[in-house]
Each structure stands twice: as structure tokens, then as C-alpha cells.
Amino acid sequence: MVRYDPETVRRLCADLARAVQVPSDDADLLARSLVEADVYGTSTHGVSRLNIYLRRIQKGLIDPHAPLTIDRRRAATLAVDAANGLGQVQASKTLDLLLPLARECGAAVATVRRSQHCGTLWWYCNRAAAEGMALLAMTNAEPAVAPEGSYEAFLGTNPLAVSFPTGKGYPVKIDLATSAVARGNIIAAQRKGQPIPAGWALDENGESTTDAAAALLGSLVPMAGAKGYALGLVVEMFSGVLSGSAVGREIGSMYRHMDRSQDVGHFFCLVDLSAFQEPSAWLRRVDATIDELKRSKLRPGVKEVLIPGERAHRVAEENRRLGITLGEETCRELKTLCEEAGVAYSLA
């Protein structure tokens, strides 16, 4: 297994982004978000996504210079327009706007319209947790999930995420797709020529399939049946309908629709925990809750109860020490991008 120094990969990704006219600071932010995803084990949303982002910029489908403008504003609510800019950049700038509002008002909320795929939601949530806050984040996505009882894709995987600060050295981090599995896992299986587990997806005829390619042409199933469908619809209501972004089948596909923008929407609700109790009290109570969870009786064969975010924290510690892994196809894409842009390929 070949491993690469995360900082070396980050610099290369930033250089490639700058080569397609992404402003320097924004290129660094994009690269950092992608590499951090790989560091924490979320490789489906990591460096493997850089190629498609840059290709869409080259085709004029993403504007790397797009401003972030405020359409509507009240005391602690913002409706913002990402203007077809990079999802990670515009979502991060939205969070930057919310932080001082939440400190002043105790909570702040924003919708984002005309955005793109913005990577892993936990990246923004962990940023908020580092500030002593809790961010509830949602985003809609291109059609991939059939409503319960149907086999025609309408909803996206529509993830929601939240992180809470703790005194344990890692935040409680929850980031989940409302589909049975994140679509990125099926894309990864297709790229590797591997089957997917039964129960993840349906083919074009509505039959269960283990063929990743057939699943991408068909639809994913909601997690937990009707419950997952309902949660996915909640995300669509906040991220798509409320924000003024595209909804359902109106959303452009990042990979298939290389002739139009995505028009994805996000929803951020940021809570300053100190508005409700002293930070020391919060840390004492959340750490006590974690300790109680850890003392739960174990099922046979189980070694410990893990807290959401704990496994990713351990993976990140190892990957920072040993380096991150990148798929062969991702390395080939990076080499091609380097050749086209005249950037030295530094991962050899």
C-alpha cells in the first residue's frame, strides 16, 4: 500500500486548482478540505473528487471567482447566493458569516442556493466544534434515491451532519446519508470493478442489484425504508425548497451533466453552546455522557463502544503519521492534470 504525505498532496491539489484560475486562498481551502477527507478516511469525498471539480471549471460550469452575496437578511438569518461557485469555498464563506452572528445571537441560520457539491459536511461541523459551537448542516444532491415504494431516483443522498465539541480530544461527529449508503461508495466500487452489497441499490427495472454500474443507472434505496425517505425529504425541504435551489430531478449531475450547472442547496444552523450553559459545564456533561456510553455492556465479540467520530479520529492519527492512500485512478488523473497544466507531479 503506497502512502503519501498529506501536506505534499495538499500542495499539489492547490497548485492544480490555481492552474485553472482558482484564487490562491480558495485553492488552498479546496485542497485542504479534500485532503482532510482522505486523512479522516472519507476518501469518497477526498482527492478523488478534484478531477471532476477542475474539469467543470474548465468547461465553465463552475465559476472559481463567483462572489457570495446575501439575498435576504434578518438579525441572525441569511439567504445567500453562491453564484455557481465552488461548493467548498462558498459553504466555508457562509460559515464564516454565521460565526459572529451566532456569538451575538446564540444561534444563526443560513440557506445557500446555486452551489455545487461541497464535499464532506463534517468538515464544516468540525470547524464549528473547534469554536465551541454545534453546526447542523444539510445539503441536497443530484437525484440518486427513489422515494419509498418507487424505483425512480428523485431525492439525492441528502446527507445531514452535526458535530459537538468535547474534552476527549475529538468531537462527537455525526455525518450520514439518508440513503442506505453514500453514492460515493458505489462510484468507488465501480471504479475498482467491485460488486456492492445487496440491499444498497436497484437497477433501472427496480430490481435489487449488486452491480455498481447498474446501481448508478438505477437508484439507491433510502436508509431504514420510509424513515430514511422522510429524513431525505426533510433535507430537500430545507436545502432545496427553502433555499431556492433546484429540487429533485432539476439538480444537475456532477458527472453526467457536463453541459449545465448543478444548482445545489445547503442549509446551516449554527448554535453557540455558551448561550445555553457555561462552556466548562458543557464539556463536563458531554464527557460524562461519553463515559457512560463507554461503560455500556458489550455484546459478544464486541471490544468497545465507539462514539461517532472516534474511529475517524483514530484513522486520522494514523494517516497523519503514515500518510494517506490514493487510488490508482486518482493518481492517474492527478498526473494528467499536471501534464496539462505544466505542474510538477510531486507524488512520484
What's the 3-state SS for 264-299? Answer: EEEEEEEEEHHHCCCHHHHHHHHHHHHHHHHCCCCC
pLDDT at 188: 85
pLDDT band at 310 (very low <50, low <70, confident <90, very high): very high
pLDDT of residue 289: 98
CA torsion angle for 207, 211, 216, 222 (degrees, to 10)?
A: 50
> Is pLDDT above 80 for 348?
no
- Sign of the four-CA dihedral 71, 94, 158, 161: negative
Residue 37 has pLDDT above 80, yes or no: yes
Question: Is the predicted pLDDT of residue 192 greater than 90, yes or no?
Answer: no
Is residue 331 helix, strand or coil? helix
What pLDDT is recorded for position 183? 82
- Which DSSP state fits 323? -
Nearest partner of 284 among 165, 141, 151, 123, judged by Cα? 165
- Spell out a b/e string for 265-299, using b for 16 or more CB atoms within 10 Å of the CB, else e: bbbbbbbbbbeeeeeeebbeebeeebeeeeeeeee
Q: Distance from CA of residue 25 to its chain's centroid?
A: 20
Helix (H) or strand (E) holding 213: helix 212-217
